Amino acid sequence: MPSRALLTWSTALLSVLLLTACGEEKKPYAWQLPPGFPEPFVPADNPMSEEKVVLGRYLFYDERLSGNGTMACASCHEQKRAFSDGKATPTGSTGQHVARNSPGLANVAYLATYTWANPVLDTLEKQAVVPLFAEAPIELGMGTRPDEVLQRLRDDARYPALFREAFPDDEQPITKDNVVKAIASFQRTLLSGNSPYDRYLQGDINALSASAKRGLELFFGERAECYHCHSGPHMTNSFRSKDTVLTERDFQNTGLYNVDSQGAYPADNTGLFEFTGLAKDMGRFRVPGLSNVALTAPYMHDGSIATLEGVLDHYMAGGRDVTSGPYVGDGRTSPLKNPLVRPFDLNAQERADLIAFLESLTDTDFVNDPRFSNPFEE
């Protein structure tokens, strides 16, 4: 009679053989996480693989993914700008105006929600559907010509093999769903963790200048109070990792507008209110992370503040008083503004110190990393 140990070993071996025969045994993805970074959350229906990342990188940079073949994801997310675009607001592939600023993508894998104010888009996969397929406004416009776009990929010399490698269990792998999954997988690898501030947190006490260290104290102190919203590993209250237990999504009104003295924002940019219809949600937007923030100007959800100095002016004033144009109103007196956005004073040296700290969040390795660059230029 066989021993219990032999039976256990035989059962284990049989399981391995069956998994291998069925093609179900897959190696776990080898994350290249910066020191101290947790593993990102990944949806169960799109597990990470190196093959998906490779495919997603090509798709991210491919203008043929847009309906008219003129724009790629990278058109609004440039690596040298930490994957933002330097514009107040972008223009879609057909020339339509997009009302919200293109955010940087550094550490985008860790956000709890995506886009500026949509509480439903809680994965990169859901977010990718918006620029690819939305028609109001049209961004890439793949949704206007989906079959034509997919045929372009099928006719390409490179893509059929890349899709088969990324999705080996699919009989016809070149699909809209797999385009979305591959792009999301690539975006999850856009990890930035080697700025001077990152190195300072890792124990290099000389990584920050004396000015940046003073700015750090201001940032996390009770005078400026930046940290109340820009907290956590990537300086945003919107955070999710593999092991995070999600709480209520965080959106904030910072007193940028007050066009009716009751807290109203411009009609095409009302923030969370657009989705909930609740008066209290007027002008509430997701708090952006600050990794590489010095590279992602202009700022705010509509790109209406050109510089970090201008952002500092806004918060020091406790909101913005718009004195001309169609959106006249004093955001400082908005009844919907977060009460933590209140006036405070800094002298010239303290202003310079706070800016120096924000500049210390720049990771030059990230914006020059060949793993994230345009593969068509290699």
- Other Cβ atoms within 10 Å of 49 Cβ, number: 20
pLDDT for position 245: 80
What b/e string do you get for 135-154 counting C-beta neighbours within 10 Å, with b at 16 or more? eebbbbbbbbebeebbebbe
Same domain, 294 and 342: yes
pLDDT for position 18: 44
CATH number at residue 163: 1.10.760.10
What average pLDDT does the segment 133-150 reach? 96
Question: In whole numbers, what is the pLDDT of the chain averaged over residues?
Answer: 93
Unique residue bearing structure tokens 């109001």: 136
- Other Cβ atoms within 10 Å of 193 Cβ, number: 23
Identify whether 2 is part of a domain.
no
pLDDT tens digits for 10-57? 444 444 444 444 444 568 899 999 999 999 999 999 999 999 999 999
Same domain, 122 and 234: no
pLDDT tens digits for 169-208? 999 999 999 999 999 999 999 999 999 999 999 999 999 9
- What span, in angstroms and rounded, lies between the C-alpha atoms of 235 and 224? 15
Evaluate if residue 9 carries a pLDDT over 50. Answer: no
CA distances from 171 to 45, 163, 168, 179 (A): 17, 11, 8, 15
- What span, in angstroms and rounded, lies between the C-alpha atoms of 367 and 207? 19
pLDDT for position 26: 66
Same domain, 213 and 177: no
**Domain boundary residue, one of 146, 167, 191:** 191
Identify whether 273 is part of a domain.
yes
Identify whether 226 is part of a domain.
yes
Q: Is residue 239 within 8 Å of 232, Cβ to Cβ?
A: yes
Rg from Cα positions in the chain: 23
pLDDT for position 234: 87
Instruction: Compute, in degrees rounded to 10, the torsion defined by CA atoms 354, 357, 359, 363.
Output: -160
Q: What is the pTM of this model?
A: 0.92
Same domain, 204 and 347: yes
- What span, in angstroms and rounded, lies between the C-alpha atoms of 105 and 115? 11
Unique residue bearing structure tokens 């999850």: 188
**Domain boundary residue, one of 191, 213, 235:** 191
Same domain, 162 and 216: no
Q: Which two tokens stand for residue 215?
A: 């700015």
pLDDT for position 25: 52
Q: Is 17 left (phi over 0), alpha (psi -120 to 50) or beta?
A: alpha
Same domain, 176 and 238: no
Identify whether 359 is part of a domain.
yes
Q: What domain range is 304 assigned to?
A: 196-363
Same domain, 267 and 222: yes
Identify whether 221 is part of a domain.
yes
Same domain, 206 and 341: yes
Q: Which two tokens stand for residue 360?
A: 């210390």
What average pLDDT does the segment 76-93 reach? 98
**Domain boundary residue, one of 191, 207, 228:** 191
Evaluate if residue 4 carries a pLDDT over 60. Answer: no
pLDDT for position 3: 45
Same domain, 174 and 201: no
CA distances from 161 to 20, 21, 28, 169, 183 (A): 22, 22, 22, 13, 16
Q: Which percentage of the chain shows pLDDT scores above 70?
A: 93
**Structure confidence at residue 248 as a pLDDT band (50, 70, 90):** confident
Evaluate if residue 310 carries a pLDDT over 80. Answer: yes
Q: Which percentage of the chain shows pLDDT scores above 90?
A: 89
Domain count, the chain: 2
pLDDT for position 214: 98
CA distances from 49 to 15, 45, 188, 252, 259 (A): 23, 12, 11, 35, 48
Same domain, 242 and 165: no
Same domain, 117 and 245: no
Same domain, 183 and 282: no
Identify whether 225 is part of a domain.
yes
pLDDT tens digits for 262-289? 999 999 999 999 999 999 999 999 999 9
Identify whether 77 is part of a domain.
yes
What average pLDDT does the segment 300-305 reach? 98
**Structure confidence at residue 249 as a pLDDT band (50, 70, 90):** confident
Identify whether 6 is part of a domain.
no
pLDDT for position 232: 81
Strand-strand pairing, 329-330 and 321-322: antiparallel
